[in-house]
């Protein structure tokens, strides 16, 4: 069978271009000193991310796929994320901003030549343009990382975006019953799915209730007002230790002024909007809130079943709304807005059962550790997923306003340490639907 490469070639070129436009926005909106500076020990200097994007692209698309000689083998080690933790990166001999820009542009020019003549079938690395899709996703992931750096950066705002849509009038049910039984988790067919999303496999979950929307700031504030941060009983012991060590009282970037909570968002301070999904909470804060509410975090399998399974047809789809790609009407993705939308603002993105905003707005912490699926095979490199498997990292699902659609789908798995608060993470809660709790 001859596969038609052309649609994939076009899709790959468009995805690489979109990523680069965004990288240019994120690195072009500040002066050079702000690119070199480290705005938080948690993050790299922006200019490290920039050249790292180019270096990964060079290694995979020019050397491995294109079979070309290395352009800058001398900088591989500087931009190897495993050799140098983020806190140490400012001290490395980094390319200066102008050099870094020249480097990524030169790599990209050659990559487009490689893409022009590549056969996008056969070898798994090239099949459906996978390697190009992987590199576009990698750049977009670093774009989200750079957006986090911007959020941590002090000073006046440099990024702008229109407000997201408002929520339509009328309340939503607070929770939705997801019937128990099997579904297909993960994928073996999504062309650009990364190794940890594979392979598709049957899973069964007991019936459960899931929040119809992410937990809002208003709801989270009730936990704060009820003394949530003062009572050990709501907290995982490690989370309680973090609360005590850092005297946590509220999500990151929140500040109390008199009776009001304010928060800083990309250089602007504003009252905390009660109807927006809560953002910048750790897994421990999400877990504590859920326990306080008499609930729990959903498992990763529960989240994916709610996001992909259509009980009416028994099919498992790519997104809550079906198989079609995300649009601005369905989900808040891609830094189109610089904040999550109010809960309920994306009725067109809801699942058949009426679960809203599973995709976009905020990454959602799940109860689950980041583990391989049965039949997992590292591809194309162990350092993307495999070295992170284990109990240290918790899985996040669904994607934030800061992730591009190319790196977000019903099967996509993100992960981070449970103490992390600077990422664009919120959560929703669940409860068992066993007969004992029915109607409780
Ligand atoms: C999947 C988002 C956790 O940013 O550390 C970027 C993605 N991997 N470069 C990260 C990634 C290599 C990764 N996350
Ligand atoms: Fe990377």
| Residue 4 phi, psi dihedral angles, 5° rounding | -85, 115
Question: What's the 145 CA to ligand 1 centre distance in angstroms?
Answer: 9
Q: Which ligand is nearest to the CA of 51?
A: 2
Question: What's the 129 CA to ligand 2 centre distance in angstroms?
Answer: 19
- Measure Cα distances from 416 to 78, 202, 248 in Å: 23, 25, 19
Residues at the binding site for gamma-L-glutamyl-L-cysteine are 86-89, 416, 420
Q: For ligand 1, what atom is nearest to the CA of residue 413?
A: 1
β-strands 208-211, 175-178: how paired? antiparallel
**Residue bearing the CA closest to ligand 1, atom 9:** 138
145 CB less than 6 Å from ligand 1? yes
ipTM at complex level: 0.99
Q: Which ligand is nearest to the CA of 407?
A: 1
196 CB less than 6 Å from ligand 1? no
β-strands 425-426, 363-370: how paired? parallel
Would you write out the chain's pLDDT as a tens digit for each of its 440 residues?
A: 446 889 999 999 999 999 999 999 999 999 999 999 999 999 999 999 999 999 999 999 999 999 999 999 999 999 999 999 999 999 999 999 999 999 999 999 999 999 999 999 989 999 999 999 999 999 999 999 999 999 999 999 999 999 999 988 888 999 999 999 999 999 999 999 999 999 999 999 999 999 999 999 999 999 999 999 999 999 999 999 999 999 999 999 999 999 999 999 999 999 999 999 999 999 999 999 999 999 999 999 999 999 999 999 999 999 999 999 999 999 999 999 999 999 999 999 999 999 999 999 999 999 999 999 999 999 999 999 999 999 999 999 999 999 999 999 999 999 999 999 999 999 999 999 976 444 44
Question: What's the 152 CA to ligand 1 centre distance in angstroms?
Answer: 18
**Residue bearing the CA closest to ligand 1, atom 14:** 414
Closest CA to 61 of 139, 132, 117: 132
pTM of the entire predicted model: 0.97
394 CB less than 6 Å from ligand 1? no
Ligand 1 pocket check: which of 89, 141, 148, 406 to mutate, most ligand atoms within 8 Å of Cβ? 141
Question: What's the 141 CA to ligand 1 centre distance in angstroms?
Answer: 6
């Amino acid at each position: 069978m001859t596969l038609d490469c052309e649609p994939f070639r076009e899709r790959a070129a468009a995805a690489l271009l979109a990523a680069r436009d965004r990288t240019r926005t994120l690195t072009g909106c500040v002066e050079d000193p702000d690119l070199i500076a480290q705005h938080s020990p948690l993050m790299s200097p922006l200019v490290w991310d920039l050249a790292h994007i180019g270096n990964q692209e060079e290694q995979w698309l020019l050397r491995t796929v294109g079979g070309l000689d290395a352009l800058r083998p001398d900088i591989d080690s500087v931009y190897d994320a495993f050799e140098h933790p983020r806190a140490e990166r400012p001290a490395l001999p980094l390319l200066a901003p102008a050099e870094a820009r020249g480097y990524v542009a030169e790599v990209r020019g050659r990559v487009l030549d490689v893409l022009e003549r590549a056969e996008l079938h056969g070898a798994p690395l090239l099949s459906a343009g996978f390697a190009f899709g992987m590199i576009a996703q990698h750049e977009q992931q670093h774009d989200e990382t750079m957006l986090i750096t911007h959020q941590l950066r002090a000073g006046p705002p440099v990024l702008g975006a229109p407000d997201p849509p408002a929520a339509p009038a009328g309340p939503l049910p607070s929770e939705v019953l997801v019937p128990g039984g099997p579904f297909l988790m993960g994928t073996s067919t999504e062309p650009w799915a990364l190794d940890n999303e594979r392979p598709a496999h049957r899973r069964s979950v007991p019936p459960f209730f899931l929040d119809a929307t992410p937990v809002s700031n208003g709801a989270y504030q009730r936990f704060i007002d009820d003394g949530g941060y003062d009572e050990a009983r709501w907290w995982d012991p490690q989370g309680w230790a973090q609360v005590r060590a850092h005297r946590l009282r509220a999500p990151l970037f929140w500040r109390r002024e008199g009776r009001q909570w304010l928060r800083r968002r990309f250089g602007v301070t504003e009252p905390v909007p009660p109807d927006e999904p809560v953002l910048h909470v750790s897994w421990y804060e999400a877990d504590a809130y859920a326990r306080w509410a008499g609930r729990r975090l959903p498992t990763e399998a529960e989240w994916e079943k709610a996001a992909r399974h259509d009980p009416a047809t028994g099919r498992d789809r790519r997104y809550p709304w079906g198989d079609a790609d995300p649009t601005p009407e369905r989900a808040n993705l891609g830094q189109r807005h610089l904040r999550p939308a109010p809960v309920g603002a994306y009725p067109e993105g809801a699942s058949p059962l009426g679960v809203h905003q599973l995709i976009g707005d905020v990454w959602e912490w799940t109860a689950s550790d980041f583990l391989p699926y049965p039949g997992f095979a590292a591809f194309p490199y162990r350092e993307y997923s495999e070295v992170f498997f284990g109990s240290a990292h918790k899985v996040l699902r669904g994607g934030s306003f800061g992730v591009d659609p190319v790196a977000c789908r019903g099967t996509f798995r993100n992960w981070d340490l449970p103490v992390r608060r600077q990422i664009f993470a919120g959560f929703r809660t669940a409860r068992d639907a066993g007969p004992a709790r029915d109607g409780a």
